[in-house]
Copies of this chain bind each other. A is one copy, B any other.
Amino acid sequence: MQFVIIGGDAAGMSAASRARRNLKDLKIIVLEKTFDVSYSACGMPYNIADPDRGIDDLVVREAHIFREKQGIDLRTGYCVEKIEPKEKVVIGHDPNGKEFIIPYDKLLIATGATAIVPNIPGFNSDRILKLKNLADGRKIKRYMKENDVRQAVIVGMGYIALEMCEALQKRGIQVSMIKPRSVFLPGFNAELSKIVKDEVSRHDVNIHLGQNIERIESIGDAAFRIICEKAIFDCQMVLVAAGIMPNSALAADAGLDLGPKESIAVGKDLLTSDANIFSAGDCSDAYHIVTGEKTWNPLALWANRAGYAVADNLAGKGIRLDGVAGTAVFKVFDLQVARTGLNKQEALDNGFDPVEVVIKSRTKAHAHPGSDAIYVHMIGDRKTGRILGTQMVGYDGAAHRINSVAVALHQKMTVQSYSQCDMAYSPPFGPVWDPTLTAANQLLKKL
């Protein structure tokens, strides 16, 4: 049997490695259009923050190891341009520009996602930077080495934008962040969002909300003028971090069904609408465990988990993935910002009757030195009493605490049941009542 994988990052290489462990005689071909495989994409902002670290630090396993130790036919620089589901072949060009036609018995589309570049004059330029793959990160590091960047503008304010704002600020660059919309962290509770915004501002980052960009002009070798409706920004570096979109064009052209945000629709077995084609990772969709509906969740854990599940299903193990809770965390300066489940609008959109609380707690026990604030926003459903989602912002302990609520969401736990959970307490790690328990206790009174 020949197993062909398009895309050699998290989902693709997880599937390839596990497929080899499962099936010793399987012929595995991975076609990766760049020259990088298996790297920690999420680590790029932290790598960029440190001029002394090479970007290749982030490579988890080098290509030759997959080839030599695992017998995986990994081909980099191979760009697939077409899938023919009836003929069961993929067609494209190799690094020498020569066309290839490769047959498959089973195919995995793990093409990932692409940074969205706004359709605004000046953005579509090689000199405007973005950060999605390792080549982007390499380019940013080179750019910063070769140019005297004193001011940078980041277009967008999502988690990559915020992580990059910290990275650039740490390198002594004056950062301005611009976005057209007026809300700082859409989807986040306003009180929590304000705390994050204050933290960013406190580090001398300029935040410009509601700025419609009209065009970017090049005003020198490494100098740009960003002309907005209401302001003009001059800088030596522009980074676009205005969101990502799934790379689903190949799948769409092959007639496969698409899901939310035009991601590739897959079942709990990771099969697309074609019984011989799997899809996994940032390019495909998932079930949301709170709503039971499809969602698009382009995050690393899901990509890895889905990649493994594809390989297991290829070996007939019959794995069905429950889905995602939308659990995520990012760090911005000294703050941890975490979420899981639905926000209030999503709860309303899915027919729930959301009731919410925001509580303030502490990162350490009463009178313990070095205690700081942690805020928890929890949403419950008035009809069923279920927890629907939680957001957390704190100087410590938000990143791991969110997982307790994620487990509760997977179990469709009520706020009442959650409030009874026996959690760990010791003064250096938090108050007697874990902040998520305090939130549950308060929410219970309102339900």
Contact = CB atoms under 8 A, between A and B. Distances in A.
A286 to B, nearest CB: 9
Contact of A46 (B289, B326, B368, B417): B368
A315 to B, nearest CB: 14
A300 interface: yes
Interface string A422-434: 1111111110111
A406 B425 contact: no
A144 interface: no
B428 A46 contact: yes
Contact of A366 (B60, B336, B400): B60
Interface stretch (A86-94, A214-222, A317-325): A317-325
Secondary structure at the A interface, as helix, strand, loop or mixed, is mixed
A247 to B, nearest CB: 20
A301 interface: yes
Contact of A424 (B304, B397, B402, B413): B402
A42 interface: yes
Q: Say how many copies of this protein the assembly contains.
A: 2
Interface in A312-351: 321-331, 336, 338, 340
A439 to B, nearest CB: 13
A47 interface: yes
Given A432-B301, A433-B301, A424 B407 contact: no
A125 interface: no
Contacts of A42: 365, 425-427
B425 A407 contact: no
A408 interface: yes
B40 A301 contact: no
A141 to B, nearest CB: 14
Nearest to A338: B424
A299 interface: yes
Contacts of A367: 40, 43, 47, 57-58
Contacts of A417: 322, 410-411
Nearest to A303: B432
A224 interface: no
A64 interface: no
26 contacts: A40-B365, A40-B366, A40-B427, A42-B425, A42-B427, A46-B427, A57-B367, A58-B366, A300-B425, A323-B422, A325-B421, A329-B425, A329-B426, A331-B428, A331-B429, A338-B424, A340-B422, A399-B426, A400-B403, A404-B407, A406-B421, A407-B407, A407-B413, A410-B417, A411-B411, A411-B413
